[in-house]
Chain A
Amino acid sequence: MNANSRLRRMWADKVLYVMLMPAAAFFAIFHVWPILGMRLAFYEYRILGDHVYVGFKYFKELFGTPIFSQVLANTLIISAMKMFLIFPLPILFALMLNEFVNGKFRKAVQIISYLPHFLSWVVIAGIWFEFLSKSNGIVNDVIRLFGFPAHDFLTDKAAIRWVLVASEAWRNIGWDSIIFLAAILGINKSLYEAAYVDGANRWQIVTRIILPHLYVPMVTVFILNVGFIMNAGLDQVLNFTNASVNSKVDIIDTYVYRVGLINGQYSFATAANLFKSVIGVILVLSTHFLSKKLTSKGAW
C-alpha cells in the first residue's frame, strides 16, 4: 500500500477520524499530558520561569532518604502478604462452592460474597471499624467470650498489616473466585463420570481432575498479581491509617501524595512516582509475556 492510497482511504474514512476526536482529546489531556509532565522529576520546579534541568538529582535524594526505603519496603511487604496469603483463598472458595450443585445455597453464597467488592474502601473502613471496635465489635465480643482482654487492632503496629490483608480478603475472596468457579464449571462432565466408574472418591476427583484444570487460571492470576506489586492499595491504606500505625502502612502512593500535594515538593514526589510507575510497567510487561508463554493468556 503506497502513501497515496493510504491518504485516499483516510480521506474516505474522514467521518471515523472525526468520531475519534473526543477520545483523542480525552486521552491527550488526562493521560499523555500528565505522563509528559513527569519529566518534572528531572527538573527543579519553579513557579515562575522555566524549570531548571537537574538530571538525576531528585532520584539520588530519593534513594538517600531513609523514609523512602521504609516506604518502598512497606509497599512490597504489604503487597507480598496480600499476594501469598490471599491467593489460595478464592481457589478454595470456588472448590467449596462447587460441592453444591444444588443451586439455591450456592447462589445465595455467591450473591453475598460478591457484594463487598462493590463497596468503596471508605464504606468498608466504616464497616470494619465497627467490626473491630474495642467496645462492641463482633471480633472483640468473641475474644472476650473466650476470656481474653479486648484488643484495639486498628492502632496496633503489629496488627495493622494483618487488618489490611484480612479486609482485602473479605472484600475480594468471593469476587476473585469467579474465574476459578467458571473454570471448574467448564470441565467436561464425562471426566467425572469416567472417574467415578473407575472408583475414584470425591477427594481424588478434586485433586486429579479439578485442580489440574485450574492450573491455567492459577498461573495467570498469580503472575498478574506480581505485575501489580507496586500497588499496595492506596484507597485502602488511606482509609485504614492513623497516626499510631502510619509508619507500618505508609506506601509509595501515600508518600507521593503527602510529599507532593500536601508538602508541595513537586519534583521530589514526581521522582518517587516515576520510579514506581517505571518498575510497575516493567513488571506488568514481563509478567504479561511470561503469562502468555505459560498459559497463552496475558494481561489484556
Chain B
Amino acid sequence: MAGRNFTVSKLMIGLILTFISLTMLVPILNLFAKAFSDPGKVHLLHGYDIWPKGFSIVNFQVVLGNPIIGRALFNSLFVTVVGTALSIFFTTITAYVLTRKNLVGKTPIMIVLIVIMIFEPGIVQEYMVVKDLNLLDNLWSMVLYRVINVYYLIIMMRFIEEIPDSLLEAAKMDGAGHLTIFARIVLPLSRIPLLTIGMFYAVMKWNEFFKSSIFLSSRDNTVLQVLLRQFVVEGDSATLVGAANLLQNNQIAQLDFGALKAATIVVAMVPILMLYPIILKYYTNGVMDGGIKE
C-alpha cells in the first residue's frame, strides 16, 4: 500500500516537473519555430507550436542583412569578447596580488572592496564619469565599465588560495619574481577558475542592457540588447523591415513583423545557447563553490 502511494506521488511530481520544464522550453522553441517559418504561414502558428509551418530562412536573411542589426551584433560581440578577455586578465592579476600573504595594506584594501561591492553608485554620476572620460557613445565604455567585478574577484581569490604554497615558494627559490610566478605557475594552474569567471563575465557583458542604453547613444554604436528592446518593447518595425529592400524577390510583401522580431531574439540568444554547455559546467559549479547568490 505504502509502495503504491509512493509511485503515485512520484508520478505526480514527475508530471509537475515536466509541466514546469515545458513552460520554459515551449515558448523558447515557439520563437525558433516562428523565426524559421515561411513568412506567409507564420500567422497559422499557435503559441504552443514548436515546429515551423513551412520552412524559410528569409527572416534571418533580412535580420542579418540589415546593416543596423549586423552592426549591433558586431558591437555586442566586440564588447563581450574584448571585455571578457580584459576582465579575466585584470581580475586574475588582482586576485593574485591580494592573495599574497604579508601584503602590507591588505586589510584596508579588502574593506574598500567590500564597500565598493555593496554601495551602488548613482547612474547620473556614472553617466557623468563616462562623459568626463570622453567615452560616451564609445564601445570602450562598455568594455571598461566594471572591468573587475568584486564578487568575481573574491571567487577568483578563493581559487588562487587553493594553489599549494610550496609550489610558489619553490619558484621563488629559483629566483622567479611575482610576474614570472603569475604568468608561468598561477595562470596555467587556474584554467578552471579562468573559465568559470570567464563565463560570468561573458554572460554579464552579452546581456548588459541598461548601461549600454545610456552609455551608447548612436545607431552605429548600439548593441543587440538595446536594439532588440526597440523592436520588442517599443514595436519599432520601421528599422527592422527597413532593410527588406535588400531582398530581390517578391517575399518582401509577405514579411511578418512578429517573425522578424522572433528571428532577432533568436540571434540574441544564440551565443548563450552555444556557450550553454560550458556555462552549465563552470558557471554553475563556480557559483556553488563560491557560495554566492547571483
A contacts, CB < 8 Å to B: 6, 9-10, 13, 15-17, 19-20, 22-23, 26-27, 29-35, 37-38, 40, 93, 96-97, 99-100, 105, 108-109, 111-123, 125-131, 133, 136-141, 170, 173-175, 178-179, 182, 201-202, 221, 224, 234-235, 238-239, 241-242, 253, 256-257, 260-261, 266, 269-270, 273-274, 277, 280-281, 284-285, 297, 299-300
**Residues in A whose Cβ lies below 8 Å from that of B43:** 136
19 contacts between A and B (CB under 8 A): A13-B178, A16-B103, A19-B94, A23-B148, A108-B21, A109-B17, A111-B280, A118-B276, A120-B225, A126-B265, A127-B28, A130-B27, A138-B26, A178-B288, A201-B2, A239-B229, A260-B123, A270-B125, A274-B122
- Other than the known A19-B96, A115-B24, A125-B229, what 10 A-B pairs have Cβ atoms closer than 8 Å? A10-B104, A17-B97, A34-B126, A37-B122, A37-B129, A100-B10, A130-B258, A174-B24, A281-B118, A300-B154
Which of A112, A125, A277 meets B120, CB within 8 Å? A277
**Residues in B whose Cβ lies below 8 Å from that of A115:** 24, 28, 276
B114 engages A32 (CB within 8 Å): no
B253 within 8 A of A: no
A34 engages B280 (CB within 8 Å): no
> Given A19-B97, A120-B207, A120-B268, do A35 and B27 touch, yes or no (CB 8 Å)?
no
B124 engages A119 (CB within 8 Å): no
Q: Return A246 CB to nearest CB of chain B, in Å.
A: 12
A141 engages B48 (CB within 8 Å): yes
Which of B28, B93, B117 meets A22, CB within 8 Å? B93
- In the complex, which of the residues A33, A224, A274, A284 has the most CB atoms of chain B within 10 Å of its own CB atom? A33
**Residues in B whose Cβ lies below 8 Å from that of A99:** 9-10, 13
**Residues in B whose Cβ lies below 8 Å from that of A97:** 17
Give Cα A63 to B100, complex, Å: 48
A33 engages B20 (CB within 8 Å): no
Which of A108, A126, A128 meets B228, CB within 8 Å? A126
> Given A31-B121, A256-B124, do A239 and B232 touch, yes or no (CB 8 Å)?
yes
Give Cα A221 to B280, complex, Å: 22
> Given A96-B17, A127-B27, do A178 and B287 touch, yes or no (CB 8 Å)?
yes
A31 engages B116 (CB within 8 Å): yes
**Residues in B whose Cβ lies below 8 Å from that of A96:** 13, 16-17
Which of B9, B145, B148 meets A202, CB within 8 Å? B9
B25 within 8 A of A: yes
Q: Return B215 CB to nearest CB of chain A, in Å.
A: 11
B167 within 8 A of A: no
**Residues in A whose Cβ lies below 8 Å from that of B68:** none
**Residues in A whose Cβ lies below 8 Å from that of B207:** 118-121
Q: Which partner residue on chain A sits nearest B104 by CB separation?
A: A10
Q: Which of B198-251 contact A (CB under 8 A)?
A: 203, 206-210, 214, 225, 228-229, 232-233
A182 engages B268 (CB within 8 Å): no
- In the complex, which of the residues B124, B129, B207 has the most CB atoms of chain A within 10 Å of its own CB atom? B124
A129 engages B232 (CB within 8 Å): yes
A123 engages B228 (CB within 8 Å): yes
